[in-house]
Structures are given as structure tokens and as C-alpha cells.
Structure 1
Amino acid sequence: MTISLHKFCSRLCSCCSKPAQNTKKMADGEIAHRTVAVNGISMHVAEKGDGPVVLLIHGFPELWYAWRHQIVGLAGLGYRCVAPDLRGYGDTQVPGDVNDYTVFQIVGDLVALIDSLGQEKVLVVGHDWGAMLAWNLCLFRPDKVKALVALSVPFTPRNPARKTIESLRATYGDDYYICRFQEPGAIESEFARLGTSLVLKKFFTYRNPGPLFIPKEGWGSPSEQITLPPWLSEDDISYYESKFDKSGFTGGVNYYRCLDSDWELSAPWTGARVNIPAKFIVGDLDLTYNSLGAKDFIHKGGFKKYVPMLEDVVIMEGVGHFIMEEKPDEINAHIHEFIKKF
């Protein structure tokens, strides 16, 4: 599929933000929620605190809520924390066309959000897809970022020789979760069969350092019982469930369905480096850290080559993928230690 580069690069300009609307102010000490018009969509934003802005970008299957501990912790240290629901998630608008979910569209949302905050540059923290988007924000619009803390997903340079899905399918097979996400409607049907709560529990409790597979014959039984870890409560799951029941999973899954489009659109950045001060944190049980070639890339010079201002790499022992929820105090300390320099 070929998509106009000009069409999507236009999303990265700073002219697409509009004044905030539907602001809800809460009592002191609480997280405030409001809706902002950015890049042609309505975006829900959670925020707290005063001071330098820290933009917190969530991944899949998450929401602003994944940053609840960081919002409170960093606000208490003198920062203004801003955590949106990304397009397709939670209380943010869910566009219906898969082409509305390319990396240029979503980075465009973030640029417009930054502009709506009246900021030239912000500190950025991203996890999972949020880390991927943050790396691309730094790549496409370095003028908008003071420094970046990326959780779980390192910067991945574009491979001009092979499309993303083709490469993943050749490496892991058709049942690899990203490959299973590609057929429109198929994974949504499987998630509906299992039920939203169970799907979320299966993702959040996955701690196998190997790749995640979702077999075509089914990802288990709807009657499966999963014990939650101490860092995740039934109330937490209920909040996530209420929002995914409203928005569905298609918006989040469409990010994966645009990976090949992203590969095409990002061709001009082949070989480009991220020239932003950065810190990377990952758990040693994280499936991304244990994916093929990841450790060599992170530890043997490739990562530093493409992110020359990478200042620190932290490997947290015995920690899985959802690192900021599993170890909130440690993550808050790591983030603060880094961003206070900027």
C-alpha cells in the first residue's frame, strides 16, 4: 500500500492544535481531566502539577491510567504531568479508517498537544508503543523534545531491505501476536470471545521472556482464571475494562496494522539518528528485551550508534513488560534522576 508522504508529513506541523475544550477542574491533589482538539480529533488528557511539562505516552493495551503512579509522584516533585489517551484509546476519539493510525498521524497528535500546552519543548516519557512514538517524535520533530526516557522499547532503525511484518512473520511465524493482529476483525473476534477483562489480564500478566503467540485456534478459554500480581488490582482491571468496552480494541490494534505503511512513509529517515538526550529502562523479563537480536543491539554499540546522546541504559532484574506499574517508585526515581538535569 502506497500512501502520500506529503499527506502524512503535514500532520507533523504545528498548525493543527486548537484551544482546549470541555475542561474539568478537580480539587487540589486530584488528577484533572479535559478534552483537547488536536490534529482533527478530540483527545482526552489527564494532568496534574505545575512546573516543567512531562509528556507521558502510553502503549498497548494501556491508557493514561498506566501512568497514574508517575503522574502523582512526578507532580509532587515539581512537574506538570500530561498523560493523554492516544487516538483510538479510552476517551479519545477513535477514527474509523486504519490509515488514520500511521506513525505520522499519531506523532502529529503529540506535536499538536505540545503546542496546545503553550510549550516549545517538553520532557517525554514513553512506554511500549508510547516509547516507539516518542523515538519518532524525537526523530521527526527534535525541536519539540528536551529529553526522553524510553521504557521497554529501544529505538529501532529502519531496515530498508525488508518490510516490518514480512520480517516478523519470517522470524516468528503467523501466530506471533503482531502477525495475528494484521487481518481486520480477526483478533477483535478472538478478544470478544474471551471477554475484555480476560484479554487485559492475559496481556498484563504475561511474563514469559519469549515471544507472545496467539494461536489461530484460540488464545485459551473464556473460563480461564488468572491471578493478578500485587501491583495490579481488580479495580485497575475494571477501569481499563470500562474504557476498552467503550472504545474497543481496533484503534490500538490499528497501530500494528500500519507498521508496513510506517515503513514506507519513513523511508527518508533511513539511517537517521535520534539526537536527543535519552535514557532507556527495561525489565530483564520483558519480551521486547528478549526478542531476537535486541540484547546485542542494546549492549554492543548499535543502540548508542543510532542514539548518540544516550546517557544511560538500565536493566531491572525480575521485572516484566509493564514496568512503570510493576515498579512505580523505582521508575519514578529513575525518571526524576534523569529529567532534573534539563
Structure 2
Amino acid sequence: MGKGWFAREKEVEIEIHYVDINPTAEKTLLLVHGWPAVWSSWRNQILEFESTHRLIIPTLRGFGNSTSPADTEGSTGLADFGNDLVCVLEDAGVEGAVCVGHDWGSAICFDTAAEHPSKITALANSAVPYFPPGPFFFSPAQIATRYPTLSYQVYLTNDRYLAARELNARPRELINGLLAEVGMENPPPSNPLADTKTILGVWRDQPIADQKLVSKVEEEYWVDAFKKSGFESTIAVYQVKNRKRSVDIASRRKTHVINIPALYINPTEDALGNLRPTFGPMIEKIPNLEIKDMATNHWPQLEKPEEYNAYLKEFLANL
């Protein structure tokens, strides 16, 4: 485990748990999960790359066995997660790694590459593109007016404690509801990501179908992890204070260009909606970017692991 700290402000002691596989390998992949997930969401990639690469797979601060500062609203921005990743790499004795991220993990990898360019040698991200800071800050409510499928973030922001209570009471249903394949059986009456007042409530009295992306043993591990941490600390990253802080820190950088090889896997059937119209800044600021489309929902590494792994393997072979 490593230690994280309060980015650019003051040191605090937290514990970041991580898995370290094949530590004698020459090249390292740093696999970074998103929400609501845990480190083992990379199981298919672990099986594919464990013999060829060193794999370092952290559990993000506030998730499962990784702790977080008491003041999560002031210490759960992208730079804080990035500092945690740097700590993990230093604790493992790794000078640089390819950062492979999904969802918030993607945003964290992009931000860490911009803030700590000597630590990240290449990027392979999916589901959340790179958003370099612009001249204006947009709140989740403002973003949701343009992208209604991101309305759940308004709920997680404005009703954080209510949301945490809802999710803490029903972690298995959240996992089953959001680990949904394209064409899932028994879909909810409306998109659970497009509601500003609830996530699980959109199913009303309708049962949530069992997910098919991870085994029941794996599902139990996820449930236990969220029971241990609770959801309050895991949704702190959505809070306006943390978002503004992330933008403020990023805005102080001399450049927002990321001059390393990068792969972005775009899930074209994502329940979050079509994000391709937002790719302009990412394409402009990452000159060595390759984009691959995958016909999956939000979880390409779980839904079509063979295709995902093939894209990642090809990208790594060309580094």
C-alpha cells in the first residue's frame, strides 16, 4: 500500500491499497478503475497481460480498503487521485507506467499525465474523454441541460447524503443495474442516469435483472467493498467543490497538451450518451491520439474483453 496526500495544500495520512502482479516485468501498466467499480473490474485485462507486463492496480481513495481524508469535499479532486497514483508508483519502485483508465479512472489518468508527465509514459483510456480546462466552469446542473443522461451527477452532487443512503442500502442492486449489457433483459422504465432525484428509484416496483458481466463471486466482492467504504466517500469526486478545485489546479499548468502516445476506446452504445461531439479538445491537445470505437455500453473492458484487449495489445506493441 502507499500513501496519498492533500494535493498542493497539506499532507494527510491515508492508505491506498493496490495489487502488484509480475513485479519483475520490464514494462508496467497502471490500471485505474472508475465508479461504481473496484480494482478487480480489470480481471479480464489482468488475465491477458499478467505474463507480459507488471500490473499495478490501485483501489481509489475512499473505495473499499483505501481510506480518504475526513474532509472529502476538499480532497477528492483529480489532482488528489493523481498524487495517489504517483505515491503508488513510487512505493512500488516504478519510474513510469502506461496509465489505463476507465470512467473516472480515464479522467484521472489524463489529468495525471498532464500534471506528472514524467510518471505516465502513455495513455489507454475509455468511456470518459479528456476535457482540458476552459475559460468557464460548468456545474453538473449546467452540463445536464445539454447532456440529460448525465443528470444522475446532479443527484450525486445536490443530494449527496440522500444519494449515499439510497446506495448504501442497495449496493447489489446498483451494481446489477449499472453493469448492464446492451439489450439487457428487463430494462428500467427510464434511464437511471437521466434522473436528478434518484438512481435506483427509476425501476419503481420492477425487479432489477441480474448483471452478466462479472461472476457472482466477483459481484459479492464488489458488494463487500462498497459495504466497507460506504458510498459517501466514493461520490465525493462529483461534488462541485472538488470539481472546481480540479479545474483550478489544471488551469495553473503551463500547457494542457499531453505529448505522449494515447489510445481512447469509445463505447458507442454508452448509456451516458454519444460523447463524440466533445472529442474536439481531446484531439487538439493530444496530438498522438488514436481513437477506436467499440459497440458496447459503458463497460467495454467487461462487455467485450477480447476486442478491448486486442486494441490495447496492438497499442502497447507499437510503443
The CA deviation at 1:273 is 1.5
The CA deviation at 1:279 is 0.5
- The CA deviation string for residues 182-208 of structure 1, in whole angstroms up to 9 with x for no partner, is 133021122245x11111111211759
Give the distance between the partners of 1:261 and 1:10, measured in 2 at CA: 12
**Structure 1 residues 227 and 304: CA distance shift in structure 2, 3 A:** same
- Structure 1 partner of 2:63: 89
Give the distance between the partners of 1:210 and 1:281, measured in 2 at CA: 23
1:147·1:276 contact (CA, 8 Å) conserved in 2?
A: yes
Give the distance between the partners of 2:265 and 2:33, measured in 1 at CA: 15
- The CA deviation string for residues 263-282 of structure 1, in whole angstroms up to 9 with x for no partner, is 23322248721222101102
- Structure 1 partner of 2:187: none
- Structure 1 partner of 2:286: 307
TM-score, normalised relative to structure 2 = 0.85
2:29·2:54 contact (CA, 8 Å) conserved in 1?
A: yes
Give the distance between the partners of 2:129 and 2:150, measured in 1 at CA: 24
1:87·1:94 contact (CA, 8 Å) conserved in 2?
A: yes
Give the distance between the partners of 2:229 and 2:315, measured in 1 at CA: 35
Q: CA RMSD of the aligned region, Å?
A: 2.7
1:47·1:71 contact (CA, 8 Å) conserved in 2?
A: no
**Structure 1 residues 267 and 210: CA distance shift in structure 2, 3 A:** farther
Matches within 5 A, 1:131-210: 131-172=106-147, 176-182=151-157, 183-193=159-169, 195-205=170-180, 207=182
Which runs of no fewer than 5 residues in structure 1 stay unpaired? 1-6, 17-38
**Secondary structure, in 3 states, of the residue corresponding to 1:315?**
strand
**Structure 1 residues 275 and 8: CA distance shift in structure 2, 3 A:** same
1:88·1:247 contact (CA, 8 Å) conserved in 2?
A: yes
The 10-residue stretch of structure 1 (239-248 or 205-214) with the greater mean CA deviation from structure 2: 205-214
Matches within 5 A, 1:22-33: none
Give the distance between the partners of 1:112 and 1:268, measured in 2 at CA: 22
**Secondary structure, in 3 states, of the residue corresponding to 2:55?**
strand
- Structure 1 partner of 2:236: 254
Give the distance between the partners of 1:289 and 1:274, measured in 2 at CA: 26
The CA deviation at 1:136 is 0.2
**Structure 1 residues 285 and 80: CA distance shift in structure 2, 3 A:** same
The CA deviation at 1:48 is 1.7
The CA deviation at 1:302 is 3.9
- Structure 1 partner of 2:316: 339
**Structure 1 residues 241 and 302: CA distance shift in structure 2, 3 A:** same
**Structure 1 residues 302 and 210: CA distance shift in structure 2, 3 A:** farther
- Structure 1 partner of 2:97: 122
The CA deviation at 1:143 is 0.8
- The CA deviation string for residues 54-105 of structure 1, in whole angstroms up to 9 with x for no partner, is 10000000110101111121012x1011111010011111332121212221
- Structure 1 partner of 2:15: 42
1:175·1:213 contact (CA, 8 Å) conserved in 2?
A: yes
2:265·2:293 contact (CA, 8 Å) conserved in 1?
A: yes
**Secondary structure, in 3 states, of the residue corresponding to 1:9?**
coil
TM-score, normalised relative to structure 1 = 0.80
The CA deviation at 1:170 is 4.0
How many residues matched? 301
Indicate yes or no: 2:84 matched with 1:109: yes
2:141·2:151 contact (CA, 8 Å) conserved in 1?
A: no
Which runs of no fewer than 5 residues in structure 2 stay unpaired? 1-5, 184-189
2:39·2:58 contact (CA, 8 Å) conserved in 1?
A: yes
The CA deviation at 1:149 is 0.3
1:125·1:148 contact (CA, 8 Å) conserved in 2?
A: yes
